[in-house]
Amino acid sequence: MATARAHTNIALVKYWGKRDQKLILPETDSLSLTLDEFYTTTTVEFDEQLTADQVTINDRLLDKKNSQKVRNFLDLVRQRSGESAYARVTSHNHVPTAAGLASSASAFAALAGAASAAAGMSLDRRDLSRLARRGSGSATRSIYGGLVEWRKGDDDLTSYANPIMEDVSFNIEMLAILIDTKKKKVSSRYGMRQSVATSPYYKVWPEIVAHDMVAIKQAILAHDIDAIGQIAETNALRMHALTLSADPGFTYFNSDTLRAMNAVRTLRESGINCYFTIDAGPNVKVIYDQRNRQPIYDALTKQFGKERLVVSKPGSGIKIWND
């Protein structure tokens, strides 16, 4: 038996599109910030008495259909470790599931850590990152804390995450505006497939990401939060342009998403620098210098209420312990 805790990460330069669905190899590199406020804690116990895998998330036992991805992942761990027993998985998500807040990143990173340890595997963080990728692409990055790059690689061995700055030494923060925490109607996997297959603009997306990766690494080295925010905001809007230009077109935005985006722009126009990013969901994340937190928080509280705002500092990497 082993337990792991992993935090979500929010991409500043997005991963949107796979070139290998089975191995979850991305079309591009990506770069993210791990957050301290959102995380998943998962315990895995292999038990010879079990006749099937049992998966419980947030105290709810999942049926066969809803636990299929987890069971597939456990099969991969069994195959690599030589473990033959079925597993009992107990997971608590401290982040809304499938709402565009990277719940799958923390969930599969924690599952990779707990399952591999319980099966007797001794993986370094690079190999753990590769394993987590097989559950969810963004989980690759949640093995590490702080600012993290996912190198797309060429195959299973070369596609993994790498820390850029685990102990973030400048005042970057992220505030999540919880627009809608219900499960989204269009899954990330479906959305990516549609965008890659049908958006006429997808062919330039890898060029955009390559440019943004160089620029954001330079901004990180310079501790330039404004440059980081500007790159992240533009990159997010261009990613969402791929969903709007797909056939049929779709969007993860709703009216409150647009209201939040405009609120950030209004703050910026008033001289308070802040920037937004949005993943595959309606929720908006605001990037800013910690020194500007209070006026940003106060302005957004007036529009959305305190209960819908969560302030996050950079989070830590995965932690694993044997029970």
Domain boundaries, the chain: 2-168, 172-312
Distance of CA 11 to the CA centre of its chain: 7
Are the CB atoms for 175 and 296 separated by under 8 Å?
Answer: yes
Cα separation, 292 vs 25, in Å, equals: 38
The pLDDT of residue 184 = 82
Mean pLDDT, rounded, for 65-75: 97
User: What confidence tier does 148 reach under pLDDT thresholds 50, 70, 90?
Assistant: very high
According to DSSP, the residues that pair with 52 across neighbouring strands are none
Q: At a CB cut-off of 8 Å and minimum separation 6, what does 141 contact? A: 9, 11, 30, 32, 34, 105, 129, 148, 149, 150, 161
User: What confidence tier does 122 reach under pLDDT thresholds 50, 70, 90?
Assistant: very high
**Tokens of residue 19, six digits:** 């070139």
The pLDDT of residue 180 = 86
Are the CB atoms for 127 and 133 separated by under 8 Å?
Answer: no
User: What confidence tier does 323 reach under pLDDT thresholds 50, 70, 90?
Assistant: confident
Question: Would you identify the CATH topology of the domain 2-168?
Answer: Ribosomal Protein S5; domain 2 (3.30.230)
Segment 256-311, tens digit of pLDDT? 999 999 999 999 999 999 999 999 999 999 999 999 999 999 999 999 999 999 99
The pLDDT of residue 185 = 87
The pLDDT of residue 74 = 98
User: What confidence tier does 102 reach under pLDDT thresholds 50, 70, 90?
Assistant: low
**Quick one: which of 201, 209, 206 has its CA closest to 235?**
209
Q: Which sign does the torsion angle of CA 215, 220, 226, 229 carry?
A: positive
Burial of residue 175, with CB atoms counted within 10 A of its CB: 0-12 exposed, 13-18 middle, 19 or more buried: buried
Mean pLDDT, rounded, for 9-27: 96
Tally of residues, the chain: 323
User: What confidence tier does 182 reach under pLDDT thresholds 50, 70, 90?
Assistant: confident
The pLDDT of residue 96 = 60
The pLDDT of residue 248 = 96
DSSP label at 40?
A: E
Task: Return the number of other C-beta atoms located less than 10 Å from residue 191's C-beta.
Answer: 22
Mean pLDDT, rounded, for 3-9: 97
Average pLDDT, the chain: 95
The pTM score is 0.94
Mean pLDDT, rounded, for 185-201: 94
Please tell me the CATH code under which domain 172-312 is placed.
Answer: 3.30.70.890
Characterize the bridge pairing of strands 54-57 and 274-278: unpaired
Cα separation, 251 vs 80, in Å, equals: 39
